[in-house]
Amino acid sequence: MIGVDLDADAIAMALADKADALRQELEDKVRANLSGVILKSRSGALLDSISSDIEDDGSGVTATITSADVPYAGILEYGGKTAAHDIVPSKAKALAFIAGGAERFAKIVHHPGSTIRAFAYMGSALDDLRDEITSGLKAAVLEALGADQ
């Protein structure tokens, strides 16, 4: 019989450390996607809303990346349709826009709704890093075990 010593704490620590580094890399990739790679930032609100976290509850490590308090984040990630709606001025007495080559003013615009394609700024970042995440976590375990890679 072969005796094998496993240091579960060392493996867990190695995984947590590697997961944290990969979490940061994933967040950086999402931020790059929102800085012109996939979408060009307009106000910066979506870019500023991106955050990531890592949680180690003793039984597993979970890395999350989120966008909070930006109502259009989901439709830009997954695509979708907006319903017909009215647009009214919020900071002025009238809306101003260019239509037919001329400046126009209106108190209300009846928008017919839009179909917005998916930009997958988060999903594509995960897809791009999937192999690196998988191999990085495997390598962390092997290193913690003292195995040759």
Enumerate the domain spans of the chain.
8-79+117-145, 86-116
Residue 8 has what pLDDT? 86
Residue 2 has what pLDDT? 66
Residue 126 has what pLDDT? 97
Residue 3 has what pLDDT? 64
Amino acid at 99: A
Residue 59 has what pLDDT? 84
Rounded Cα gap, residues 129 and 122, in angstroms: 11
Residue 64 has what pLDDT? 95
56-86 burial, b at 16+ Cβ within 10 Å, e below that, comes to eeeeebebebebeeeeebebbbeeeeeeeee
Residue 58 has what pLDDT? 81
What parts of the chain have a pLDDT lower than 50? none
pTM of the model: 0.82
Residue 148 has what pLDDT? 58
Rounded Cα gap, residues 114 and 96, in angstroms: 20
| Residue 98 burial (10 A CB sphere; 0-12, 13-18, 19+) | exposed
Residue 23 has what pLDDT? 97
Picking from 17, 130, 39, the residue whose alpha carbon sits closest to that of residue 50 is: 39
